[in-house]
Amino acid sequence: MAAHARGRSPVMDLHWLTASEITKAFQGGQLSPVELLRHLLARISRFDPMINSFVTLDQEAAESDARAAEAEIKAGRWRGPLHGIPVAIKDIIDVSGLPTKCQSRLFRDNIAKSDAFVIERLRQAGAVILGKVATFEFAIGGAAGDAFPTVRNPWNPAHHPGGSSAGSGAGLAAGFFPLSIGTDTGGSLRHPAAASGVVGLKPTYGLVSRRGVFPVSFTLDHVGPMTRSVEDAAAVLDCIAAQDPADSSSVSAKAGSYTSDLGLGVRGLRIGFVRNFHETDVVADPEVGHALDAAVGVLKSLGADVTDVTLPPLPSFAAVNRIIQHSEIWSVHKPWLQTRPEEYGVTTRRRLMSGAFLSADAYVAAQRNRRRLIGAVNEVFQQVDILVAANALDTAGTPEEYDTGKPIDVRNRQARVPFNVTGHPAIGLMTGLSRAGLPMSMQMASRHFEEALLLRAAAAFQRATPHHALHPRLEAHAPGD
Amino acid sequence: MDRLDAELVMLARLAGLEATLEKYPEDIQFAVSDARSFMKALASDLGPADEPWPPMRVDGRL
């Protein structure tokens, strides 16, 4: 790869740089925002026809943002760690003037009139908004393309990159951008992190505003960063975590910077290994289980005090998540499903309509069970500081395998829901590659609003392991290469 | 019309999905079946003191 470098030392493989590395290169005069953007745009142009991560690429606005950032940085007006850094936005999040299509025919002409809260925050920080990236239809439909092309996994394009923040995961793994913003209602930040081998952080419910994000489920939706490094996830959270009076669930709970403790390590931290999720409740693929054991071994070797803990069974969380999610999303989509059902893909239509046949009794019972499950997890957090659990139980399947009722999809829809139900922060990160060359992953969780501790533990793991430095070779899959 | 069809028609009507049932009867059947399995999977050992989340809060921000 040609180096777009000047000054002291060359900067190679620009597309694999993390945001923190890019910032150092900007500050050292080795790289400029415009040079970086042009490099990434060329890479997107070359490889995205194979990956399909972008729904709307806003090249003109991105170039304008990059030029403005370059001028400010040159003039000594550096705004912070996201200044001049390209970021891609999941296409259920409003960016003023761009369509929010939600991967749906129904919303093909839906132009956002204003920025979502998180976009306002990114703009204030000087980030470069690259455009909108693919999701599942309304962040709940199937993975196989219906109205839009199917997103492909850069590690193996026959496989899916995970979802529903599919374009975010695929684009990060492909080296199209260093940062993305996604959403997570039942694992949609952490599943693509698992399938694509990147980082996905679901913050505590209420820490990041949902304003301007098309709802899946009001009480389960979380907005958060996807990145290739834990350090970058912390920097993005620093930017987007803030109270928003326009979001009824938004709280003021940010204390200090999420990046300041990243170097403190895990020595002395009490880590609870949740074995029952993947060893007895829904048994993980053996390779995934072995990688998880190895990851826990790394944390022990770093000085963490690891013990086994038991949480309520995975299916009990999944039952609660499904009833709440499907009841709430039906309430949103009811008018369109009654009058324009043909504008939905078949998997989406089936999933959304199930909410029509759930009783009020079931919804209230699910919310009552939810409170009990939150209590059960909080009780375990009196004994430990961090939980480690399986993130995905399998490596990425093919897109068709994520349709309703398929075995891998049934398993997949359970693994990450506990922390949506309870609202605890959780981060997904890579634990290695399978024999077939597909990423494997774990998730870590912490007490409500203890993201600083969570990120500290995740950063320690990432520093001690080489997994995040592995990247797919797109050239091997690209036609004509 | 057999009993299953009659029940499906009734459920679709209650949900305002009569027109959708005409076009996509299999999808309605699928959704009904999913909803039933979801409800069956929910724990039913709640006590009177098990209140729902989120709690009602009157803090002037509504």
pLDDT 10s digits, A228-269: 999 999 999 999 999 999 998 999 888 789 999 999 999 999
A350 touches chain B (CB under 8 A): yes
Q: Is B23 in CB contact (< 8 Å) with chain A? A: yes
Q: How high is the pLDDT of residue A480?
A: 64
pLDDT under 50: residue ranges of chain A: 1-10
pLDDT for the residue B59? 65
pLDDT, position A452: 98
Q: Distance from A186 to chain B by nearest Cα, in Å?
A: 15
pLDDT for the residue numbered B4: 64
pLDDT of residue A144: 79
Q: Which pLDDT does position A401 carry in this prediction?
A: 86
For residue range A73-130, list pLDDT tens digits in order.
999 999 999 999 999 999 999 999 999 999 999 999 999 999 999 999 999 999 999 9
B42 Rama sector, left if φ>0, alpha if ψ -120 to 50, beta otherwise: beta
Is A374 in contact with B50 (Cβ distance < 8 A)?
no
What pLDDT, on a 0 to 100 scale, did the predictor assign at position B61? 53
Q: From the list A319, A352, A353, which residue is nearest B41 (CB)? A: A319
Is the pTM for the entire model greater than 0.90? yes
Q: Are A115 and A156 in contact (CB under 8 A)?
A: no
How big is the CA angle at A99 (ends A244 and A416), to the nearest 5 degrees? 60
A81 to each of A40, A178, B58, how far by Cα in Å?
19, 12, 39
DSSP conformation class of A400: G
Report ipTM for this prediction. Answer: 0.94
| Predicted pLDDT of residue A9 | 47
Question: Over 50: is that where the pLDDT of B39 sits?
Answer: yes
Closest residue to A316, CB basis, from B11, B39, B43: B43
Nearest beta carbon to residue A358 from set B30, B38, B44: B38
8 A C-beta contact, residue A368 and residue B46: yes
Both tokens assigned to A45: 């142009």
CB contact under 8 A, A357 and B62: no
At residue A6, the pLDDT reads 38
Query: Rounded to whole angstroms, what are the CA distances from A387 to A272, A310, A391, A430, A453?
Result: 5, 10, 12, 16, 11
CA A304 to centroid of chain Cα atoms? 26
pLDDT recorded at residue B56: 74
Confidence of residue B5 (pLDDT cuts 50, 70, 90): confident
A349, closest residue in chain B (CA to CA): B27
